[in-house]
Amino acid sequence: MDVTATPKTNTVAGTVFRDEDGDAALDASEGGQSGVTVFLDLNRNGFLGADEPFQVTDSNGEYRFEDAPSGSYLVWQVVPDGFEQTTPETFFTTVNLEGGATLENINFGNREFVF
């Protein structure tokens, strides 16, 4: 009998939101931010490389990587012009994925930059 194992894929998902009150929490009154690039920083250098997976948030500010690679790396957003990031405090989230892991609520908050 020839049995071929189906590789398990990892998922990373979350929301980029407009943090109107700057409290670093996604409140019920705050909406998602569409058109924001979120990427998996596989080489951990803080920049989106040509060979690194990325997603652009949808109209609800949501993103999802269905086939995220196994291993340890960083999840970053490209902060939109005119905004400052409020969460996470470190600007990125470290993930460690193996064998079909699902990590959700890897969220990013942005507040409009006030001069």
Residue with tokens 């009998």: 1
Q: What is the pLDDT of residues 47-92, one digit of tens each?
A: 999 999 999 999 999 999 999 999 999 999 999 999 999 999 999 9
Is pLDDT larger for residue 99 or for residue 110? 110
Mean local confidence (pLDDT), 18-27 = 95
33 in Cβ contact with 18 (< 8 Å): yes
Burial of 79: CB neighbours in 10 Å, binned 0-12, 13-18, 19+: middle
Query: What secondary structure letter does DSSP report for 61?
Result: S
pTM: 0.91
Contacts of 47-54 with C-beta under 8 Å, sequence gap 24+, read 48/76, 48/78
CA distances from 51 to 17, 21, 39, 47, 80 (A): 26, 36, 11, 11, 21
37 in Cβ contact with 78 (< 8 Å): yes
